Amino acid sequence: MADSVPNNNKRIAKNTMFLYVRMMVVMVVALYTSRVILNTLGATDYGIYNVVGGIVTIVSFLNSALGASTSRFLTFALGECNLEKQKATFGASLNLHICVALLVLIVGETIGLWFFYEKMIIPESRMVAAFWVYQFSIVTTMVSFTQVPYNASLIAHENMSIYAYVGLYEALSRLLIAFLITISPIDKLVFYGLLLMVNSLLVQLFYRFYVARHYEECRFSLVKDKKLYKQLLSYSGWDLLGNMALVCQGQGVNLLLNVFFGPVVNAARAIAFQIQGAVTQFITNFMTAVRPQIIKNYAEGNIDRMYTMTFYTAKFSYMLMLALVLPICFEIRFILKLWLGNSVPDNTALFAIIVLATYTLRSFHIAALMPYHAIGKIKTGNVTIGSLMIATLPIGYLLFKLGLPAYSVFVVILAVEVISIFAIYWLIHRYEYFPYRYLFTKILLPSALVTIISIIPATVVYLQMAEGFWRLVTLTCVTEATLLFSAFYIGLNSLERQQLITITKNKLKIK
């Protein structure tokens, strides 16, 4: 076991590196193409594209629940080195996802289409274009649902390098799409939706071909094991509420904003979440690399190491997010001007600040979900936290009815996130014991102190200098230097500092 720990850490580092390369390429291209696409389509069409696709993804909570179930059981089967169990799990999961894809088609062409025509605020002149974008979204969503078992297999096998290679293709293809819509022979919004659908299908078909060729268990089969289906559905059944809650906070709120404020506010939200998505890719990639190891440690009965990795991941990911988010929040208006020029929709800056604060805190939440899913006792947590998150939708509706501004619903989401963090750690403590004192003194308190110390000099720079490029550079440098110093001496304990020094010396070959 002792020899396997360094190998596991090395594998995590390697996988994280591959995922970071992919993320950096995709993020840079996405930020550039967003400006081109927003200027080409305009705020209204950009908002229409983002909210119309949201109707279809409302049912994605079904897919997310089954995806989490597939990933867990495949990883467990790998940990047990049971090929037959891997084959059965993959086959049963694929069959379930095909059923969900058919459900998407039925719901999308009935209830979804009714909501599209009867409830959404879309200019009359753009209804035909929006309809075709909606149809493209249905096809893309159906195919992506059947793709989940293949992606889950890649993650379970910890083969992250393939994501980096496909990421290069995705980056180049998005650049090409951004260019093509500027010379579109047909309606630009329709052409944009069509190109994205075709591109998504090509990427998913490649993943499917690669996984089927490299992993013996990844074959379609009509699995008849009722007990296995029951296990998958039982696990995903309780995970259903949690994933439905995420959809309510995401696309549910997006549709609510459309009904009350129209597509331009949807464009502002889309840009805010694109900034959030670019930033949180750093954390998502790190956690994607760590997650299989946490599940395997639990499967092997190594609870202490599971928690050590979880708490380290929570603290590290939070501080990494803080380093990225603080300069952006202070200089968000200037950054938006540099990025989008004069095309920035109203409310974008405020939306972005609140959303970034929420997802920075969510680092603690997401880290806790890894052991939570590994343990597998998800009933109470999904009912409790899922109910809190779903409540943001009726609360948001009530606030908008009372005349409150659009950003008020994001404040509610932030408050719910704070409550959820404490709830999720309380739940995993009930199932597999860990000291509360360790959580507060070694994780939350150091993170809070690093945050406060880092904000102070950034505030001074912000108040003393005029807005512009040099304030952005100065504030970023001061913030990162302060955060690096405080994270090293306050955020890390003595053992973690020594490990970091040792790793750095080894990398630099310093004796």
pLDDT single digits (tens) 419-437: 988 888 888 888 877 888 8
The residues, ordered by sequence, that sit 6+ positions from 185 with a Cβ below 8 Å of its Cβ are 191
- State the pLDDT at residue 50: 75
Q: Are 424 and 369 in contact (CB under 8 A)?
A: yes
| 347 Rama class: left (phi>0) / alpha (psi -120 to 50) / beta | left
Give 276-285 pLDDT, tens digit per residue. 776 666 666 6
Is the confidence at residue 74, as pLDDT, over 80? no
Q: How confident is the model at residue 235 (pLDDT cuts 50, 70, 90)?
A: low
- State the pLDDT at residue 223: 72
Q: How far is 168 from 263, CA to CA, in rounded Å?
A: 32
- State the pLDDT at residue 475: 92
What Rg value do the Cα atoms of the chain yield, rounded? 23
What stretches of 108-187 show up as alpha helix (H) in DSSP?
113-118, 127-156, 161-182
Is the confidence at residue 478, as pLDDT, over 90? yes
- State the pLDDT at residue 3: 45
Taking CB atoms within 8 Å and a gap of at least 24, the contacts of 168-171 are 168/22, 168/25, 169/203, 169/206, 170/26, 170/29, 170/199, 170/203, 171/25, 171/26, 171/28, 171/29
Which comes out higher in pLDDT, residue 349 or 245? 349
Count of CA atoms in the C-beta half-sphere (13 A) of 244: 15
Is the confidence at residue 67, as pLDDT, over 70? no
Is the confidence at residue 132, as pLDDT, over 80? yes
- State the pLDDT at residue 23: 62
- State the pLDDT at residue 463: 92
pTM summary value: 0.69
Which comes out higher in pLDDT, residue 363 or 237? 363
- State the pLDDT at residue 474: 93
Is the confidence at residue 244, as pLDDT, over 80? no
Give 8-22 pLDDT, tens digit per residue. 555 555 555 555 566
- State the pLDDT at residue 6: 47
